């Protein structure tokens, strides 16, 4: 979901079924500790794609 026309860009990503993990990251801890790990995308790449063209103030 994206919101445009504002003073700042805003995007909301919802990870359904993910546990307490960084999507696409590692290491793989036991599921009983952190829950399921999302492997559909890389959170690091998604965050970078959002910020890479933004100006540094």
Predicted local confidence at residue 43, as pLDDT: 93
Q: What are residue 2's phi and psi, to 5 degrees?
A: -130, 145
**Structural domain boundaries, residue 45:** 1-57
- How many domains are there within the chain? 1
Average pLDDT, integer, range 18-29: 84
How far is the C-alpha of 9 from the C-alpha of 3, rounded, in Å? 6
Predicted local confidence at residue 1, as pLDDT: 77
Predicted local confidence at residue 35, as pLDDT: 87
**Higher-pLDDT residue of 43, 7:** 43
Predicted local confidence at residue 46, as pLDDT: 93
For residue 33, the tally of other CB atoms under 10 A from its CB is 9
């Amino acid at each position: 979901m994206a919101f445009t026309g504002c003073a700042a860009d805003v995007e909301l990503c919802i990870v359904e079924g993910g546990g307490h993990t960084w999507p696409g990251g590692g290491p793989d801890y036991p599921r009983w500790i952190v829950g399921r790990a999302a492997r559909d995308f890389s959170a690091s790449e998604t965050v970078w794609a959002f910020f890479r063209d933004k100006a540094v103030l």
